[in-house]
Amino acid sequence: MAMVVVTVIAALASTMVWQQWRSVQGESAERARSQAHWVLMGALDWGRLILREDARGSQIDHLGEPWAVPLQEARLSTFLADGREDLEDNPALQAFVSGVVTDAQSRFNLRNLVVNGEVSAPAVRTLQRLCEAAGLPASVPARILDGVRRSWLPIEGEGRAGAPSVLLSPERLSDLAWWGVGTREVEQLRPWLIILPAATPLNINTASAEMMAVAIDGIDMAIAQRIVQTRNNSPFKTPEQVVALLPPAENANRSAGLSVQSNFFELEGRLRLGTRVFEERLLVERRQLDVVVLHRERPVAEGR
């Protein structure tokens, strides 16, 4: 009987210790998550400040500006300790921060598919070339166009029996799942595609050669590379400077979809704390000297 009582007490004590350990681990994880969130918010607010200051002294946006320089992974203590050795041992500062600001208008804006309440044929061709360059099948642009028609365009016979259903309107690329685009396909589209609140021109000072080759009618990679080399020497000050480098075309207003200035940017921050990695992504709009956050999301990476 004594052995049975001792066994029961030991089992109960082990259960209590295990529950206490789980509680401590949960609190530690929540504290680390909260700390990482606030540190990332501080880093991303720093990026917003850089964008705000850039608007004060420049009327064009290009890759030679301070906002376009990525922050390589650096120990947090190098920003806060200011050389004080007594802070180097602080566990809260043993974290590594990195980040990057990218021009959202250096990619194709899905909102450009709708012009004056109708689907734009040139934009559709751009989307098809873009999906082909991203290595996606022809069914992907077809699904996206179907979603555009059922989300952003009025549907004839809406509300009647047999009429096509209205789909939710996506605000970010991950929302394309509502249109039947898979997660892997979304990640393949991310370097090429963006969803902004309104139609926007393509910034020729920040777009890649691959992006220009699919977004500008009548040019190939050779011409796109020549445009990049020209802007590396001196950023374009007007879209007409780029049009002068393009081959002749029937469309006289080829600069309509091009720009040298951007209002939308994407800020990505990454914090590594031990074996844990925290990431945050913001889409912001620069309205003169005010940088407004439109939405934020936390990327979900495999194995984290």
Domain ranges of the chain: 32-103+263-297, 108-190, 201-262
pLDDT at 275: 75
pLDDT at 304: 43
pLDDT at 263: 94
Say how far apart CA 214 and CA 47 lie, in whole Å. 30
Extended beta strands in the chain, E state:
71-75, 96-103, 108-109, 114-115, 118-119, 193-194, 202-203, 258-259, 264-273, 276-287, 290-297
pLDDT at 300: 60
pTM for the model:
0.80
pLDDT tens digit at each of 304 positions of the chain: 878 777 877 777 777 777 776 766 666 666 666 666 667 777 788 888 899 999 888 889 999 999 999 988 877 766 655 555 554 555 555 778 888 999 999 999 999 999 988 999 999 999 999 999 999 999 999 999 999 999 998 765 454 544 456 677 899 899 999 999 999 999 999 999 999 999 999 999 999 999 999 998 888 899 999 999 999 999 999 999 998 888 876 555 667 889 999 999 999 988 887 777 888 889 999 998 899 999 888 776 443 4
Say how far apart CA 99 and CA 101 lie, in whole Å. 7
pLDDT at 189: 95
pLDDT at 169: 87
What is the number of other CB atoms lying within 10 angstroms of the CB of residue 181?
23
What is the number of other CB atoms lying within 10 angstroms of the CB of residue 170?
20
Q: What percent of the chain is helix, strand and coil (3-state, nearest 5)? A: 45, 20, 35
What is the topology classification, in CATH, of domain 32-103+263-297?
Pantoate--beta-alanine Ligase; Chain: A,domain 2 (3.30.1300)
